[in-house]
Structure 1
Amino acid sequence: MASNRSGNGSVPLTPLRGWRVADLSSGIAGGYCTKLLADGGAEVVKLEAPQGDSLRYWTASGTALAPGADGALFAFLAGSKHSVVADPSSDLALVEKVLGESQAVVWTPGSPLAEHPHLSPKEIRRRHPHLVVTTITPFGLDGPWAGRPATEFTLQAWSGGIIGLGRGAPDEPPVHVGGRIGEWFAGAYASAATLTARWRTLGTRAGELCDVSMLETQILGLTYYPVSFYEGLGRAFRTQRRLSVPGVAGAADGMVAVGCGTAQQWFDLCAMVGHPEWIDEGLEAGITETANRKAPEIAEWMAAHPVAVISDLATAFRIPSGPIAHGANAFDLDQHADRGSFTTNPRDGFRQPGPPYRTTPPLLRAPEPAPRLGEHTAHHRSAPPPATANGRAASAREPDPLPFRGLRVLDLTTFWAGPSCTHYLAMLGADVVHVESAQRPDGTRLVAGVPMSEDLWWEQSPIFTGLNTNKRGLTLDFRSDQGREVLRRLVARSDVIVENYTPRVLEQFGLDYDKVRALRADAIMVRMPGFGLTGPWRDNPAFAYVIEDTSGLTWLTGHRDRNPVEPYSIGDPNAGVHALNALLLALEHRRTTGAGVLVEAAMVEAALNVAAEQVIEYSAYGALLERDGNRGPVAAPQNLYRASGADEFGRKDCWIALAVETDDQWDKLVTALGNPEWARVPGLATAAGRRREHDLIDTRLAAWCARHDSDAIIRILWDAGVPVAKVMQPHRQPELPQLESRHFFEPVFHPVLPTARHSTLPVHFSHGPGTFHRSPAPLLGQHNTEILAALGISPDDIATLIDDGTVGGTPEVLKANKP
């Protein structure tokens, strides 16, 4: 893969060059959104009050900063940006100047500038209608919960993501995903939304409001289409917590994760650990039950072998596996070291992740230093207005509600990561052709637990339907010469090709980027391998949990006195939204140059970016960040507390999430509790004191919560201004009035399954569309004839392709996977 410089050594022509973005955000979500835009070449002007962004003074480890020094996380997120300081009480004219000279603004609540009434999103839109205004808020700008107190932790609870996919041990409370992952994921979605609005409004006189809800992004990132599953099949998905077996295990010299996502992988694991006789037991008792019964013996085998030996054996057996990465060892893992996945911060010298995607030709700006506070104030105060971005004149045409109308996308993806990328395009108007085969249908068709004895069992996966609305379906076996010829014709007519096989698969079929470019010179090819197109792990199987393991996301999830717990969710959708960002940059490049692009969006490098704080803290300060159950680095107290009563399954498993981030919120909590004597101890008035006494506070809050049901706790504390949430079962998401108000779910008819509600996008675009789901996910091969005829294939030849099994067919009998 090429570096970020063109062949003659010059700086690449970045797609967003000449596009100015005013940054009125604070915190991780806005900082990461604008970092991705800056990497793409945008001129990001960070507008700060005199005291500066709070991240300038932040270290997750509590390391004291020297006077005038910025925190390392800020230096990472603010790279390549400008800093302009304006006092909200006296210097709004400078802010107005920057806004008037920009084409977009990213806004989050919380900073003195953003909270000024003159700089609310509504006011910015009124005075600057040309701007793309992207807002990132906990619940969105409208709806009954807009403006209510929340933290990333309480949003995980409301989203259903804490219970989510059964994460954690059954004898312990549920456990959240560590590392403030929801903020990073929201930032990546906000960047994609901003680029979408740019695509839609360029060449018009219109701006756009992109209203991003962090609650909705967390639903898409931490839960697995639970509402579609529940309403489509009449049962909830994974309501019981369980530890994965083998999952994360202690090896002789460290920690390693080994996963069994399929029956075949379990069978291979039995052979790997020297117990092939377990295979028959698995068939009789069910794989999960057998694996849990054999867990002590598996753990004993793991503990007797080094990480490298386990990983090598797992690779040979094609079992997903990888070492557990964290801040101290991630640099040295074979794949990351071989690919140069980390770089040096250009200002402060610590190690940081490189870009989350790579391109040929190089489109991304090389990292530039973060600005000192107010470094560019004088320049922007006196500089003349810049030329219109890219020199385009505006016309009076109206922006299209479906901005990707006419874009033809060949979707060679499966499971979750790839389809989530192409689904975004399909929901916004692209013609997406999703290719499967009867021999190898999309993997999400196989995870519904529907018996193969039922008619059309492969059409009854609500997860597949949730990921693939608005797409057309083609079944094509391209292992044959005839199939490869059809595939070449599809490539020749497609603007974008997206695939997420391991690298060797398409290369075996003769469809690397050079072949694609020979068929269509301006094609954009997005490749989404788990670990990249090069390196010693390139052909390793990469399920979401392995990506989480090898990037550091697993390390920060779970309890400190136990092995970490795999999130089992975010690795896939995080890869999808990062690939989407890269694809949108590639479309900008093609729009201005007419040239195609190869995008390499390795899943693990997207994950390394959202886990960046671990590596940054260790490199900058020598501090190894650790998981801490449901506590976090910002709020104190922060935890889950059991409420009275039973859940819908009759279990004493009702929980509320509470997080106090400020002294004012603590005071409100104490008042709501009735001013108990224990809470008025002077030492608890400060965050440092509350952190020291967290165990005491947990004991007192647990006792209070045990006397109240969840609804009463929410009513008492949330109405008082305390960030609190009910830990939701994810299939109950539509019961949240905020989601109902924002129409986040839409009912979708399906010819086999009952009509069920499907999630949409976590952003309201002011130019639409009003409805995201216009047609259900395709039945297997539903559009075969239509698609083949559009390629110029005659009816007789289509019939021949069907007769010889190149297209059409029904899934071959697969081994039953008894989860």
Structure 2
Amino acid sequence: MARQAVAAGDGGAGNGVLTGYTVVSLAGGIAGFYCTKLLADAGARIVFAEPPQGLALRRRTSSDAVPEPGADGALFQFLAGAGHSIVVDPSRADDRDLLDALLTAADAVVWSPGDGLADDPRCAPAALRERYPHLVVTAITSFGLDGPWAGRPATEFTLQAWSGGIVGLGRGAPERAPIHIGGEVGEWFAGAHAAAATLTARHRALRTGTGELVDLSMLETQILGLSYYPVSFYDTVNRPFRTQRRLSRPGVATAADGLIAVGCGTAQQWFDLCVMVGHPEWIDEDPTPAITERTNEKAAEIAAWFAEHTVAEIRELATAFRIPNSPVANGADVTGIDQHRAREFFTVNPQSGFTQPGPPFRSFPTLLRSPEPAPTLGAHTDHYRKSAGTARGHSADSASGAGYSPISPPPPASTSYRSATDAPLPFTGLRVLDMTTFWAGPSCTHYLALQGAEVIHVESAQRPDGTRLIAGVPVDEDRWWEKSGIFSGLNTNKRGITVDFRTDTGREILRRLVVSCDVLVENYTPRVIEQIGLDYDTVRTLRPDAIMVRMPGFGLTGPWRDNPAFAFVIEDASGLTWRTGYPGQNPVEPYCLGDPNAGVHALVGLLLALEHRRRTGAGMLVEAAMVDAALNITAEQVIEYSAYGTLLERDGNRGPHAAPQNLYRAAGLDEFGRPDNWVALAVATDEQWASLAEALGDPAWATAPHLRTAAGRRAHHDEIDEQLAAWCADRLSGEIVDRLWAAGIPVAEVRQPHRQAEIPQLVHRGFFEPVAHPINPTARHSTVPARFSAAPARYHRTHAPLLGQDNNAVLGELGYTAQEIAALERDEVIGGAPGF
């Protein structure tokens, strides 16, 4: 049960690892609110500085539901739990003084444009950094604070188009428009990245004694979350990763009594599926086509078999064969899934009693506090006025009343790091044992490697990292396993060793590595790490202050604990799939976000664990289940259903907060010779609609009175789509974007993902850096999605490791002699080439 609300002024300051850390929120969107929620759950004091009318999110729903008069919406109550609220009218001198006192005593600010005080020039990020040099200022914008696209209108939907994520992994049927991922997941994903970036800057601030500006771009977060390192892949093998849309099979299928999702991510899973559906003879057919092509060839037979069996029957068989599978969850039924019930994942909102997700990770001991109510508008204004009144003339660490002092006073401005050359990388000196594979785990550890940590990536010659196998390079080509741009994109700056930990000798190497490392991150199914004797109880006997981050698909407990978990099955079990696709048809798996979303949430948990160790000297276990992270970014589904009885559903490329919103085909052929050029358009306000009509030449249909309101445009969306489709069909995508963007309309080209590096804004921000490689051509690699004012001049320092590249060096550091290392190689405990 959630504990009772604390008295105003307490704010739960005695709970959570970030107790004493004060963050002022000048953000109004989902991304900013989710960032501060993650920090608040960890004990930070979040103070929402709101305009007299309150922030718009207080009243937001994604359906026709309307909060009770005078009540805040359920989503706000979930995101703002445990926060404080003050009302600030920037036209009043005493309110400006109140905000000044609050910022002087704070540790960080989270800022995003478009609502409340954020648009006051005195609250601009650069102004805040100049006036309050001790603050970490995290700015969340569509494209970044400067550059040729800075300040241009965009929505989460148009950013998906610019990122290439709408077409990046071939989502959807080729005969229809590409399909975006529903539910505004890009906002939530950006919020998780903003929390990680804020904690990173805090980690550096504890060493330098000053704050910095963190300039986060939502476009860049979407590139990292919705596409699979397409630029480094393209540069490595000189062709795109995927060029056409196709439905995954079986994917989401119709069973006799409902929807079931079953996926084939490996050849073995395809073989097992053949047996499961009664066609073992398919195994011996031509193996040349890719798995996706073979499953599509057999789609009709597979669908017929599924239609004759119940969801429970299919799940039982698929689980026995270890084929990834899940019911297709939505806001109405996700709480009833046996795995979520067994782990008691969902909780009750302490304010209004609706159902909401639990935290995206767990820790032992706990880093987080129990859920607390959200503040009413201005509930804490008087308290902070009194605190500010007694604080004048005092240093910041004694400026406020009991329980309100920041963690340390603002340092003198002379300690500020103003150039990239003398700024320390935040994780220099941190040594990480990286026992991860594929996408989710390596994305977590890669961030640490880019930010200065020494990361030792462990593979085995018998089973290399799975992304080495995703290259499209024939196995008879010399050193084919070194030619994956995806592996390279995830593993630069890491050292690489191979260890066959099925052997006693290999397991001894791992134990020595644990002793030498501060952090261990792994993302195998739980049974694997336990079978080799590296459960957390063993790890802490080897090194008591070690932080162990485990990233199972479904958690360390419950009936699904050992189920294989690929991104798509995580998406199925969390609601990501349910919101993606066209109405009246089966949903479509996003096939991407489940992995990197797990990675960034695990990173947040890891950074909080480092804070715990800094304060206590103790290590801990962080359990960052992939599905728990996904259930948090789909929180709105279960919240709306529980609070209002509304089931949020997929709606093609339309969305609940813009009308019209859709993709429209433009003239011309794409680079592959197909009539497949598209633009994304989203009209979020009545003012934007008026501007769109003017840009179109004020045709009679666009100026009709019934289209002047969002409700009217939503009711007549089909009519608008028909007109816009005809207008776009005669124009090139670049022409459409130039005209409408200049008019202030959120619009985008649907980019092919391997063309991301050509976007002028990304060039300006240096998001991609060239990385030389001893075997492959120099390739452009993505960096981190925020520009830190104290960042290095360059993030990528070394290429991704060759298989077993650092065996001799790392084993030598662990005390192995040259003769012992040679014996390990003869016995194939270590190696530099695949052993299969």
TM-score class, shorter: over 0.9
- 1:201 and 1:627 map into 2 onto residues whose CA distance is 43
- 1:301 and 1:145 map into 2 onto residues whose CA distance is 51
Residue 389 of structure 1 and its aligned partner are, at CA, apart by 3.6
Matches within 5 A, 1:692-703: 692-703=715-726
Matches within 5 A, 1:37-48: 37-48=39-50
Is 1:79 equivalent to 2:81 in the alignment? yes
Which residue of the partner structure matches residue 367 of structure 1? Answer: 371
CA displacement, residues 291-340 of structure 1 (integer Å, 9 cap, x when unaligned): 11210111111111111111111111011111101000000001001001
Correspondence for 2:122 among 92, 108, 118: 118
Which residue of the partner structure matches residue 293 of structure 1? Answer: 297
Which residue of the partner structure matches residue 502 of structure 1? Answer: 525
Contact kept, 8 Å, 2:152 with 2:744, in 1: the verdict is yes
CA displacement, residues 453-487 of structure 1 (integer Å, 9 cap, x when unaligned): 01101000000000000000000011111111111
- 1:733 and 1:293 map into 2 onto residues whose CA distance is 32
Is 1:163 equivalent to 2:163 in the alignment? no
- 1:640 and 1:761 map into 2 onto residues whose CA distance is 29
Which residue of the partner structure matches residue 712 of structure 1? Answer: 735
Which residue of the partner structure matches residue 627 of structure 1? Answer: 650
Instruction: Tell me the SS of whatever aligns to 1:153.
Output: helix
Is 1:132 equivalent to 2:103 in the alignment? no
Question: Which ranges in structure 1 are unaligned for 5 or more consecutive residues?
Answer: 5-9, 814-819
Residue 238 of structure 1 and its aligned partner are, at CA, apart by 1.0
Which residue of the partner structure matches residue 27 of structure 2? Answer: 25
Correspondence for 1:172 among 176, 183, 186: 176
Residue 397 of structure 1 and its aligned partner are, at CA, apart by 6.0
Question: Are residues 376 and 704 of structure 1, via their aligned partners in 2, closer, same or farther at CA, if it must alter by over 3 Å?
Answer: same
Question: Are residues 310 and 435 of structure 1, via their aligned partners in 2, closer, same or farther at CA, if it must alter by over 3 Å?
Answer: same
Which residue of the partner structure matches residue 8 of structure 2? Answer: none
CA displacement, residues 184-230 of structure 1 (integer Å, 9 cap, x when unaligned): 00000000000000010025441110000000000000000000011
Contact kept, 8 Å, 1:415 with 1:444, in 2: the verdict is yes
Is 1:523 equivalent to 2:527 in the alignment? no
TM-score, with structure 1 as normaliser: 0.97
Contact kept, 8 Å, 1:350 with 1:619, in 2: the verdict is yes
Question: Are residues 489 and 536 of structure 1, via their aligned partners in 2, closer, same or farther at CA, if it must alter by over 3 Å?
Answer: same
- 1:24 and 1:757 map into 2 onto residues whose CA distance is 35
Which residue of the partner structure matches residue 582 of structure 2? Answer: 559
Is 1:756 equivalent to 2:776 in the alignment? no
Residue 282 of structure 1 and its aligned partner are, at CA, apart by 4.8
Instruction: Tell me the SS of whatever aligns to 2:285.
Output: helix
- 1:203 and 1:474 map into 2 onto residues whose CA distance is 31
Matches within 5 A, 1:249-260: 249-260=253-264
Which amino acid letter does the alignment assign opposite residue 361 of structure 2? Y
Contact kept, 8 Å, 2:134 with 2:410, in 1: the verdict is no
- 1:239 and 1:289 map into 2 onto residues whose CA distance is 14
Contact kept, 8 Å, 1:167 with 1:241, in 2: the verdict is yes
- 1:79 and 1:651 map into 2 onto residues whose CA distance is 50
Which amino acid letter does the alignment assign opposite residue 735 of structure 1? E
Contact kept, 8 Å, 1:88 with 1:112, in 2: the verdict is no
CA displacement, residues 651-699 of structure 1 (integer Å, 9 cap, x when unaligned): 0000000000001100110000000011111011111110011000000
Which amino acid letter does the alignment assign opposite residue 137 of structure 1? T
Instruction: Tell me the SS of whatever aligns to 2:261.
Output: strand
Residue 812 of structure 1 and its aligned partner are, at CA, apart by 2.5
Which amino acid letter does the alignment assign opposite residue 635 of structure 2? A
Which residue of the partner structure matches residue 612 of structure 2? Answer: 589
- 1:391 and 1:130 map into 2 onto residues whose CA distance is 10
Contact kept, 8 Å, 1:524 with 1:586, in 2: the verdict is yes
Instruction: Tell me the SS of whatever aligns to 1:463.
Output: helix
Which amino acid letter does the alignment assign opposite residue 631 of structure 1? R
Instruction: Tell me the SS of whatever aligns to 2:701.
Output: helix
- 1:149 and 1:286 map into 2 onto residues whose CA distance is 41
Which residue of the partner structure matches residue 152 of structure 1? Answer: 156
Matches within 5 A, 1:220-259: 220-259=224-263
Which amino acid letter does the alignment assign opposite residue 141 of structure 1? L
CA displacement, residues 772-816 of structure 1 (integer Å, 9 cap, x when unaligned): 100000000000000000001111111111111111142133xxx
TM-score, with structure 2 as normaliser: 0.95
Which amino acid letter does the alignment assign opposite residue 797 of structure 1? E
- 1:43 and 1:776 map into 2 onto residues whose CA distance is 40
My pick for the range that moved more, 283-292 or 527-536, is: 283-292
My pick for the range that moved more, 735-744 or 55-64, is: 55-64
Residue 286 of structure 1 and its aligned partner are, at CA, apart by 4.4
Which residue of the partner structure matches residue 817 of structure 1? Answer: none
- 1:580 and 1:475 map into 2 onto residues whose CA distance is 24
Question: Are residues 502 and 53 of structure 1, via their aligned partners in 2, closer, same or farther at CA, if it must alter by over 3 Å?
Answer: same
- 1:753 and 1:462 map into 2 onto residues whose CA distance is 9
Which residue of the partner structure matches residue 721 of structure 1? Answer: 744
Is 1:443 equivalent to 2:469 in the alignment? no
Is 1:51 equivalent to 2:74 in the alignment? no
Matches within 5 A, 1:21-420: 21-90=23-92, 91-202=95-206, 204-283=208-287, 285-383=289-387, 384=391, 385-386=399-400, 389-390=406-407, 400-420=423-443
Question: Are residues 285 and 489 of structure 1, via their aligned partners in 2, closer, same or farther at CA, if it must alter by over 3 Å?
Answer: closer
Instruction: Tell me the SS of whatever aligns to 2:511.
Output: helix
Contact kept, 8 Å, 2:329 with 2:573, in 1: the verdict is yes
Contact kept, 8 Å, 1:639 with 1:658, in 2: the verdict is yes
Which residue of the partner structure matches residue 755 of structure 2? Answer: 732
* Percent identity of paired positions between Structure 1 and Structure 2: 67
Residue 112 of structure 1 and its aligned partner are, at CA, apart by 2.9
Pairs aligned (count): 806
Question: Are residues 75 and 666 of structure 1, via their aligned partners in 2, closer, same or farther at CA, if it must alter by over 3 Å?
Answer: same
Contact kept, 8 Å, 1:232 with 1:462, in 2: the verdict is yes
CA displacement, residues 427-469 of structure 1 (integer Å, 9 cap, x when unaligned): 0000000000001100000011111101101000000000000
Residue 752 of structure 1 and its aligned partner are, at CA, apart by 1.0
Contact kept, 8 Å, 1:272 with 1:314, in 2: the verdict is yes
Instruction: Tell me the SS of whatever aligns to 1:140.
Output: coil
Instruction: Tell me the SS of whatever aligns to 1:289.
Output: helix
- 2:473 and 2:287 map into 1 onto residues whose CA distance is 17
CA displacement, residues 229-262 of structure 1 (integer Å, 9 cap, x when unaligned): 1111000011100000100001112111100011
Which residue of the partner structure matches residue 598 of structure 1? Answer: 621
Contact kept, 8 Å, 1:203 with 1:392, in 2: the verdict is no
Contact kept, 8 Å, 1:282 with 1:290, in 2: the verdict is no
Is 1:452 equivalent to 2:452 in the alignment? no
Is 1:575 equivalent to 2:598 in the alignment? yes
Which residue of the partner structure matches residue 16 of structure 1? Answer: 18
Is 1:771 equivalent to 2:771 in the alignment? no
Question: Which ranges in structure 2 are unaligned for 5 or more consecutive residues?
Answer: 5-11, 392-398, 418-422
Root mean square deviation, CA, Å: 1.5
Contact kept, 8 Å, 1:103 with 1:132, in 2: the verdict is yes
- 2:553 and 2:793 map into 1 onto residues whose CA distance is 35
Contact kept, 8 Å, 1:426 with 1:470, in 2: the verdict is yes
Contact kept, 8 Å, 1:159 with 1:219, in 2: the verdict is yes
Which residue of the partner structure matches residue 787 of structure 1? Answer: 810
Which amino acid letter does the alignment assign opposite residue 755 of structure 1? T
Contact kept, 8 Å, 1:531 with 1:542, in 2: the verdict is yes
Residue 87 of structure 1 and its aligned partner are, at CA, apart by 1.2
Contact kept, 8 Å, 2:211 with 2:416, in 1: the verdict is no
Which residue of the partner structure matches residue 685 of structure 1? Answer: 708
Residue 89 of structure 1 and its aligned partner are, at CA, apart by 1.9
Residue 284 of structure 1 and its aligned partner are, at CA, apart by 5.2
My pick for the range that moved more, 59-68 or 771-780, is: 59-68
- 1:286 and 1:710 map into 2 onto residues whose CA distance is 33
- 2:25 and 2:585 map into 1 onto residues whose CA distance is 41
- 2:286 and 2:366 map into 1 onto residues whose CA distance is 49
Residue 11 of structure 1 and its aligned partner are, at CA, apart by 9.4
